[in-house]
Structure 1
Amino acid sequence: MLIYGGTIYTVNDNQTTVEAVAVKGDTILFAGSMAEAEVFKGETTELIDLKGKTMTPGLIEGHGHFMGLGYNEISLDLLGTTSYQSIIDAVAKRVETAKPGEWITGRGWHQSKWDSLPENLVKGFQTHFRLSDVSPDNPVYLSHASGHAGFANAKAMEIAGLTGLYKEGLGAYEVEGGEVILDQGGRPTGVFNERAQTLIVKHIPEKTTETDRQAFDLAVKASHRNGITSFHDAGIPRETIEFYDEMQANNKMDVRIYAMLTGWDKELLNEWYSKGVRIDPNHKFTIRSVKLNCDGALGSRGAWLLEPYADRPDHFGHETLPMEFVKETAYNGLRNGFQVCAHAIGDRANREILDRYEMAMKGVNDKAKTEDHRFRIEHAQHLHPDDIPRFAELGVIPAMQAVHMSSDRPWAIDRLGEKRIKEGAYMWQDLLKSGVPIVNGTDVPVEPVNPIASFYASISRKTLKGLPEGGYEPEQKMTRAQALRSYTLDAAYGAFEEGIKGSIEVGKLADFAIYNQDLMTVSEDKVLDTKVVMTIFDGKVVFEDK
């Protein structure tokens, strides 16, 4: 394959742009001038003329949930809903075609992003009664966009045996690592925060092999449509590992998956510690990291804070995993060669995790095991100023989804107040200047998988509606080169894979994304008009927008 005729950004500091790229099989043979590339042209060469379009390395989704992406295309997608009424309408429409008693599930609602809020809010959330009215016979469970809360109707709570859960005088029924929000009469409102979600989720029928295959296929196609050739899958259980093995055996693994083992299954972790990391020689399905969920989300007020919420002064969020287990996992990870990737959104969660990582590094005290651990904190959304330099000092990589700033910043100030927002929220440039790379992404299905939206957020610090003028805390904007790097070479570094992907260099994998316009030079207000028009994976065209 010979690709030429447009601007090709390499993300290689020694040669930032080239005129042509030659590929043989799944590997880059040449990147340089068109004149030099002519030697690679033969009778069987596939010629791709960009016709003025722009090409970059294939994009890497640095933190997402691959099967969640697929299942979000099957179930109710509520990411675009702008009011409680729009959720009710979506469920009512699904009720019309649902079988009697069939569960209706969906994901993506976020009350802080609605144009207007309903009456009778409880702790900032809606109540289930209107939802229950439109679906009296079908149980409904709708996950919050963050995944850290859920919303059930009366039928779902009846099936879960929760209709008798009256705690008069309490605002919430506490469970370990979460809460069921109650109204003034002590009745469940339908909102289940953090680990309380299991009270409902355990009653939802399990997915089938057939639906898994459908979701997987949809996730692959969605990735290709968006120029994504690699995907950091943030926490998968044993069953998903077996399923991915099957997909790879059947030659269906058409996205390179870098998987994190789900941290709640100690038996699974111990098995993998015993047998060691798995680095796929075909670079399709690698397992060498562990995902820990250590606090909740800011939207559901589950993020674990050092100081209370500005809009709920009696509440600090939730520690959803004991910090002793974080320390133990960090220690085991270092000893056995596994990267640890800990979810932390609130400043206390980030500090506590950095503390445990540091303790583990001192406890192992073996330079060979600790000098290139590449431990990560996933999200690192809100940091205490004192902890920002600690990432570089400890060699911890922040995996931050820039689009969260676009979606969350307009209301996050209500949760944290102006001082905490300005000193410690979405601190991209401060972290980059301290000497650490940033791994970008979307956390799909929390946000749509579209990398252009995250790129735009990175460089503009604006909402996707282009507000405010100048952006929020503009001194923290990334440059376009930094933003592209966060989706390519730095994301590859975050998975120990910078030697095989993330830039267009001889010997690296032939994964590319091609766009309708030059996202590196087009005016900022036109960036969101950028479309992926072709994706090349493993040296083959896998998507073309005709």
Structure 2
Amino acid sequence: MTPDLIVLADTIHTLDDKPDNGSRSAIQAVAVSDGLIAAVGTREDAQQWRKPGTRVVDLGGATLTPGLVDCHIHPVFGLDLTIGCDLSGASTLADVRALLRAESAGPASANPASRNDGGWLRAWGLNPNAFGPVPLHRSVIDEVSGDRPAMIRLFDGHSALANTRALELAGIGGRVEFDQSAEVVCDADGVPTGMLLEAAAIELVQRHIPKESFEERKTRLGNLLRDFARSGLTGGHVMDHDEESTALFQALEADGELPLRLRSAPWCMPGTGVAEWKELARTVGTGGRRWSIEAIKLFVDGTVDNGTAWLYEPDLYGQSIAPFWPRPEEYTAAVRYFASRGIPTATHAIGDAGVEHVLDALESLRGVVPSDVLRQTVHRIEHIETVPDQLVERFQHAGVVASMQPTHCTHYSVADQSDSWSTRLGKVRADRAWRCRDLREAGVTVGIGSDWPIAPYEPLPIIADAQLRRRSGHPEQEPIAPAQALTALQALEGYTSHAAHAAGLWDVSGSITVGKRADFTAFERDPLTTAPDELAASGVVGTFVDGEIQFMLERLA
């Protein structure tokens, strides 16, 4: 063995599932050859491995783990969702108005993400809790936008609020019929309120907003991916993909390697059929050096805060009782089409009825899809925000992966259930919030992610929040459904070994094991022994992909 690289660290967590029993010597060294792990051992072993030309990186007191992988991100889609004024910190209606006035009055910024494009006033990250009991209405934007068109994206990515001028430009004067469960919300007189629910409705306005140049978007995406790497990520499961995504990834790779691996899943939407599904299937397996299309993303419902989730019983306002696919049997047919071809699916399902329908669809594959194909194909459900006991039990029997985002709970709901999400659901359903621990205890693979830009992407605070069931750095907050807290190991596994299982990649990634990819994350503090709040406030020392340094603190480079 002649390794290209040897990485040394005082603590290395391999997460290889091999029992220790106190018999193994302390692992503090990893050798890498041609992008793969060639050996794992002690510092003494490393002295024997080292050859002329071998690079040695000694991380000292840092902790090395398998590379962190975010199981749910939207890097390209997020470029559109993060333009303009950031409203994510607005907690009151007065805050929203003040931020919008400042954005409207200020000069266009040199930063493309915070400027007004083509005269449009834009903002993002709005939490409906800021409006309190006041219904979201275009008048709030009209007050500060004047004659300028304006649109605010809400934090969930499934809704937007447009002002009067924007609706006029889009030719929206009343209700609109869609192939999917989308809505231009109107008042009792049929006049649009400005609220646009789901992608098809939002696109009616979005198409009229001038778009950045390709070079601007490429620059922003490149910066974002480098920020991902600096945060500790070595990979991400991208839950959207289109022709622009392909062009951007190709352009970035033409300039050099992507700093992390990206596994994409284009959307399959209602109103499509076999012809469209065939075209989607043809894209699977295509890609570049560090990105590829490997799955299909579907939606079976929307969000609780919008009233577009799919629940057994209506929410407080009589909403959230309709599926995203008006004919759910067509969703099932789509899943069967892809599953029969060995193509993994990932379905957005938030409400109890939505999750049950996805489980029904996946369980119906038995006897329809050849058993060897079914056994080798990983299917997953994204989000799973409120489900009863019987659905938790069905996950294990169905062999379905749960992909969850702990900060959706800790950032957008509160323990006393006075938030919009909990209020809409009522106590019984709100008490079933994000059942991460119950799913793990049932033996289910639970991958963890951020859903950026819906929530921040930094993995250390997310790992901490998963254990605390409150926002890290805020010890004054009461935990939300604390029985659902993950252990430190379970939270780390959600970003490593379970993330690999969730992608069907356990044979090549997810642990520090000889023969697997040399993707590592180095922590300043040990994520298994550091108090969660302290971990969230600590830093990442470096990341490696294919045994190549993507980010490293200058003092160690």
User: TM-score scaled to structure 2, two decimals?
Assistant: 0.87
> Hey, what does 1:189 align to over in structure 2?
193
26, 33, 48: which is aligned to 2:42? 33
264, 278, 282: which is aligned to 2:285? 278
> Hey, what does 2:111 align to over in structure 1?
none
Q: What is the aligned-residue identity percentage? A: 27
450, 453, 456: which is aligned to 2:458? 450
Superposition RMSD in Å: 2.6
Instruction: State yes or no: 1:398 paired with 2:402.
Output: yes
Aligned to 1:337, what secondary structure does the other structure show? coil
Give distance in 2, aligned partners of 1:308 and 1:465: 35
The Cα shift of 1:380 comes to 1.4
108, 113, 133: which is aligned to 2:125? 108
Aligned to 2:228, what secondary structure does the other structure show? helix
> Hey, what does 1:168 align to over in structure 2?
none
Instruction: State yes or no: 1:433 paired with 2:437.
Output: no
Q: Report the CA distance shift for 1:421/1:130 in structure 2 as closer, same or farther (over 3 A).
A: closer
> Hey, what does 2:514 align to over in structure 1?
506
Give distance in 1, aligned partners of 2:293 and 2:118: 39
Instruction: State yes or no: 1:341 paired with 2:350.
Output: no
Q: Report the CA distance shift for 1:128/1:59 in structure 2 as closer, same or farther (over 3 A).
A: same
The answer on whether the counterparts of 1:376 and 1:396 sit within 8 Å (CA) in structure 2 is: yes
Which blocks of at least 5 consecutive residues in structure 1 are unaligned?
166-171
Report the residue type matching 1:526 in the other structure. E
The Cα shift of 1:350 comes to 0.6
Instruction: State yes or no: 1:128 paired with 2:138.
Output: yes
Give distance in 2, aligned partners of 1:101 and 1:469: 42
The Cα shift of 1:369 comes to 1.8
The Cα shift of 1:402 comes to 1.3
Q: Report the CA distance shift for 1:533/1:174 in structure 2 as closer, same or farther (over 3 A).
A: same
Q: Report the CA distance shift for 1:245/1:337 in structure 2 as closer, same or farther (over 3 A).
A: farther
The answer on whether the counterparts of 2:403 and 2:448 sit within 8 Å (CA) in structure 1 is: yes
The answer on whether the counterparts of 1:173 and 1:181 sit within 8 Å (CA) in structure 2 is: no
The answer on whether the counterparts of 1:177 and 1:196 sit within 8 Å (CA) in structure 2 is: no
127, 139, 142: which is aligned to 2:149? 139
Aligned to 1:439, what secondary structure does the other structure show? strand
Give distance in 2, aligned partners of 1:250 and 1:180: 42
Give distance in 1, aligned partners of 2:506 and 2:84: 35
Instruction: State yes or no: 1:241 paired with 2:258.
Output: no
> Hey, what does 2:313 align to over in structure 1?
307
Query: Which runs of structure 2 are paired with 1:89-488 in the superposition (5 Å)?
Result: 89-95=98-104, 96-98=106-108, 101-112=118-129, 114=130, 117=131, 121-122=134-135, 125=136, 127-162=137-172, 164-165=173-174, 177-183=181-187, 187-194=191-198, 195-264=200-269, 267-273=275-281, 275=282, 277-278=284-285, 282=289, 284-309=290-315, 311-312=316-317, 314-321=318-325, 322-364=327-369, 366-410=370-414, 411=419, 412-422=421-431, 424-464=432-472, 466=474, 471-488=479-496
Aligned to 2:348, what secondary structure does the other structure show? strand
Q: Which segment drifts farther, 85-94 or 516-525? A: 85-94
Deviation string 1:458-514 (CA, Å, 9 cap, x unpaired) is: 111123354677732222211111111110111111111112221111122222112
Q: Report the CA distance shift for 1:77/1:252 in structure 2 as closer, same or farther (over 3 A).
A: farther
Q: Which segment drifts farther, 516-525 or 292-301? A: 516-525
Give distance in 2, aligned partners of 1:60 and 1:100: 33
Report the residue type matching 1:344 in the other structure. A
The answer on whether the counterparts of 1:79 and 1:448 sit within 8 Å (CA) in structure 2 is: no
Q: Which segment drifts farther, 395-404 or 366-375? A: 366-375
The Cα shift of 1:61 comes to 0.8
Deviation string 1:146-205 (CA, Å, 9 cap, x unpaired) is: 11110112221121123x44xxxxxx8876513333456654332212243233223223
Report the residue type matching 1:180 in the other structure. V
Q: Report the CA distance shift for 1:334/1:18 in structure 2 as closer, same or farther (over 3 A).
A: same
> Hey, what does 2:23 align to over in structure 1?
none
Which blocks of at least 5 consecutive residues in structure 2 are unaligned?
21-25, 109-115
> Hey, what does 2:112 align to over in structure 1?
none
The Cα shift of 1:129 comes to 2.2
The answer on whether the counterparts of 1:66 and 1:231 sit within 8 Å (CA) in structure 2 is: no
> Hey, what does 1:78 align to over in structure 2?
87
> Hey, what does 1:525 align to over in structure 2?
533
Give distance in 2, aligned partners of 1:438 and 1:476: 13
Aligned to 1:377, what secondary structure does the other structure show? strand
User: TM-score scaled to structure 1, two decimals?
Assistant: 0.89
The alignment covers a number of residue pairs equal to 526
6, 10, 24: which is aligned to 2:10? 6
Report the residue type matching 2:67 in the other structure. G
Q: Report the CA distance shift for 1:39/1:460 in structure 2 as closer, same or farther (over 3 A).
A: same
Give distance in 2, aligned partners of 1:384 and 1:73: 34
The Cα shift of 1:287 comes to 1.9
The answer on whether the counterparts of 2:118 and 2:209 sit within 8 Å (CA) in structure 1 is: no
Instruction: State yes or no: 1:490 paired with 2:498.
Output: yes
Query: Which runs of structure 2 are paired with 1:18-29 in the superposition (5 Å)?
Result: 18-29=27-38
